[in-house]
Amino acid sequence: LATAGKLRMQDIWNDMIVLKDGSARAVLEIDPVCLAGYTDQEQRLLANRYAEFLNGLTTPIQVLIKSRLLDLPGYLSDVETRAMKQENANLKSALGDYREFLTKLVPLSEYGVMRRDFYIVVPYELPTEKAAGGPGLFSFLRPKQVGDEIRASGSKRQRLKTGLDAITDEVKQGFERVGLRVRKLPSIELIRLFVNVYHPSASDKDHEELFADADLLTVND
């Protein structure tokens, strides 16, 4: 989505990213699983299912792992609040022990506590359209002009979304069969993701201000 520091996006529309070359991307957020909580046999089963899923993919995907330093005071406060509201005595005790563990661990860590978010980027582009007996309809256009053509044509943009949704659902179901929880990011969360990547110091309240003057990105929901 970025090349040599330049964003290749043209629009974020209806939960998909439209690039300047006329192709589109959907982003899935994955909740990871801790394999340490499974037996050796269960781990092998999950690994085999994941391998089968990857081997059966009919479209390329991109795996994106985003790491950032965790706001520990806020996180510890959240854990404490959840523990106070927990009615199950065992879970309440476990949350308390977890909070105490993190409190003791942080001073020993040189880099602090990192949070990792996992995403899957799913690409799609419309099949090449050919004029009767001639070359592809868009063959004479530069990539940006192709994107402009897609943007200007409601029917082409809807076909782009329909095709992307079909492939995204296929990828999502594959991950779910492995036992992972998957969620497709809506438009507003796609914006937040890019803001956090390119403006990591910005808070949520800054999002609208940051994108108010951005003429390379238009949100149409």
- pLDDT per position as a tens digit, 92-116: 888 888 888 878 776 666 666 677 8
Mean pLDDT lowest among 22-31, 125-134, 135-144, 170-179: 135-144
Kindly state the tokens that stand for 190.
Answer: 């796609």
Q: Is the pLDDT of residue 182 over 70?
A: yes
The CA distance from 171 to 120, in Å, is 9
Average of per-residue pLDDT across 150-163 = 78
Task: Give the 3-state secondary structure of residue 203.
Answer: coil
Within a 10 A sphere around the Cβ of 103, how many other Cβ atoms? 12
The CA distance from 21 to 125, in Å, is 9
Placement of tokens 């998909």 in the chain: 16
pLDDT value, residue 107:
67
What is the residue type of 161? Answer: K
Q: Is the pLDDT of residue 151 over 60?
A: no
The CA distance from 188 to 12, in Å, is 9
Mean pLDDT lowest among 29-38, 79-88, 149-158: 149-158
Average of per-residue pLDDT across 13-42 = 86
Question: How do beta strands 181-184 and 114-124 pair?
Answer: unpaired
Average of per-residue pLDDT across 136-141 = 42
* Helix (H) or strand (E) segment spanning residue 114: strand 114-124
The CA distance from 84 to 5, in Å, is 46
When pLDDT is cut at 50, 70 and 90, the band that residue 164 belongs to is: very high
Q: Is the pLDDT of residue 138 over 50?
A: no
Placement of tokens 């238009």 in the chain: 218
When pLDDT is cut at 50, 70 and 90, the band that residue 124 belongs to is: very high
The CA distance from 219 to 181, in Å, is 27
Q: Is the pLDDT of residue 22 over 90?
A: no
Q: Is the pLDDT of residue 123 over 90?
A: yes
The CA distance from 113 to 69, in Å, is 6
